[in-house]
Copies of this chain bind each other. A is one copy, B any other.
Amino acid sequence: MIRVTAWNEFRHEKVNEKVRAIYPDGIHHTIAAHLQQAGFAARTATLDEPDHGLSEAVLAETDVLTWWGHMAHHEVRDDIVERVFQRLMYGMGLIVLHSAHYSKIFRRLMGTTCNLKWREAAERERIWVIEPGHPIAEGLGDYFEIPHAEMYGERFDIPAPDTLVFISWFEGGEVFRSGCCYQRGRGRVFYFRPGHETFPIYHQPEVQRVIANAVRWAAPHTIAPTPVVNAKEPLEKIGK
């Protein structure tokens, strides 16, 4: 059984009634509950727990980590980011959600600014499936819609994804690469755009479906490092 840890900075839900109305126990609980129903072993972790809930022990039991953050990216400790990074290099999967495009861990993995255009206007988003044969698109039709979304627009300053699964159309006139697959080290990374905290997006079945598909895709077959090796003894004779 794939073991998932759903991480959330869990701040908006405490300070904003509108957010609390949608996610009473926090976004992490909504995500973890759905993943449990989908057949995964899901736990949660949040910013204000010791080590942000991401001890070595927790990560050692995590196959895939989902990450939601927005207002407190800078409060995430650098040594914990490094710990997540190392685990990912060994094979752990990472699902990066919405505003976590600006999290320390995602920017570290991308090697770019991760800048983008944005607008809060509760506009319609239509997410088009670009690679219908990809496992992350399993069960979807040609597209699905988010009735009210925060807009993210191109140029999104990321490396070109290894596979681009979704492109969003926005009512206000922009487009966005909304589902982006990356291999980094032995780990797999999926960036998924939807998820603004003031809309009930993580209660939407298509969004839940994509997250479950992405967890399955990102789960590692092995957790092992790729070390520096002084290969002193050649495999073949040299200088014959």
Contacts and interface: CB of A to CB of B under 8 A. Distances in A.
B169 A228 contact: no
A49 interface: no
Interface of A: 89, 91, 108-113, 115-119, 121-124, 126, 128-135, 138-139, 142, 151, 153-155, 157, 159-160, 162-164, 167-175, 177, 182-188, 220-222, 224, 226-232, 234-240
A188 B133 contact: yes
Given A168-B175, A235-B173, A89 B113 contact: yes
A172 to B, nearest CB: 3
The 8 closest A-B pairs by CB, nearest first: A172-B234, A173-B235, A133-B186, A173-B236, A138-B221, A109-B111, A111-B111, A117-B231
8 contacts: A111-B184, A116-B229, A117-B230, A118-B229, A119-B231, A129-B155, A160-B164, A167-B175
Assembly of this chain: how many copies?
4
A184 B185 CA distance: 18
Given A128-B154, A130-B155, A157-B226, A169 B173 contact: yes
Contacts of A91: 133
Contact of A133 (B118, B130, B183): B183
Nearest to A235: B173
